[in-house]
Amino acid sequence: MTQRATAVPYGAQEIINNRMIGKRPADMVLVSLVGPLREVNPVVVAKPGRAYDWRFLARLEVLIVASTAIDRGAVKRVVDAVLPHRPGYLGVWFADRQVGMNVAFGCWRLRSGRGMGAYDRKAFAGIGAASDVSNGR
């Protein structure tokens, strides 16, 4: 029998509390695997190797902010843990390279991560650039 993760990442409790009263973030939620981000979007900070309860991300637009220094398998485990909760959008952004990939649009999942086009890269440009991502964190 598999146990459900009960921990929530840092910064998630405010989103959970608002969802409990019928509110949701107006902007995309950034799930940072690289530490705190200086962004206006709601940011939750998670450790790549830890299991979390991601149910609060259901039907929300979500961008996982990672670094190429993080083990690829750890990033994939976070993606795989978020997907069953059907986010409205799910993407992965590698802040140190300023590139990313689209993973899912609602129920429609790409068979393999598809690189973001110029429009998406421009929209996400700078996310994580001000953090310690460049230091391999």
Domain membership of residue 72 (yes or no) is: yes
What is the model's pLDDT at position 115?
79
The answer to whether 34 and 74 are in contact (CB under 8 A) is no
108 — pLDDT class (breaks 50, 70, 90): confident
Which structural domain range is residue 102 located in? 12-125
Domain membership of residue 136 (yes or no) is: no
Edge to edge, the sheet with strand 99-105 lists 43-45, 29-32, 61-66, 89-94, 99-105, 108-115
Which phi and psi angles does 58 have, rounded to 5°? Answer: -55, 130
If you ran DSSP here, which 8-state letter would residue 114 be given? E
Report which of 69, 121, 114, 59 is spatially closest to residue 89, judged by C-alpha positions. 59
Count the domains in the chain: 1
Domain membership of residue 135 (yes or no) is: no
Q: To which residue do tokens 């220094």 refer?
A: 69
The answer to whether 60 and 25 are in contact (CB under 8 A) is yes
The answer to whether 32 and 43 are in contact (CB under 8 A) is yes
pTM for the model? 0.87
Domain membership of residue 49 (yes or no) is: yes
Judge whether residue 1 has pLDDT over 60.
no
Domain membership of residue 133 (yes or no) is: no
Q: Which amino acid is at 129?
A: A
What is the model's pLDDT at position 5?
65
117 — pLDDT class (breaks 50, 70, 90): confident
Domain membership of residue 92 (yes or no) is: yes
If you ran DSSP here, which 8-state letter would residue 24 be given? -
Domain membership of residue 16 (yes or no) is: yes
What is the model's pLDDT at position 137?
41
Judge whether residue 131 has pLDDT over 80.
no
Domain membership of residue 118 (yes or no) is: yes
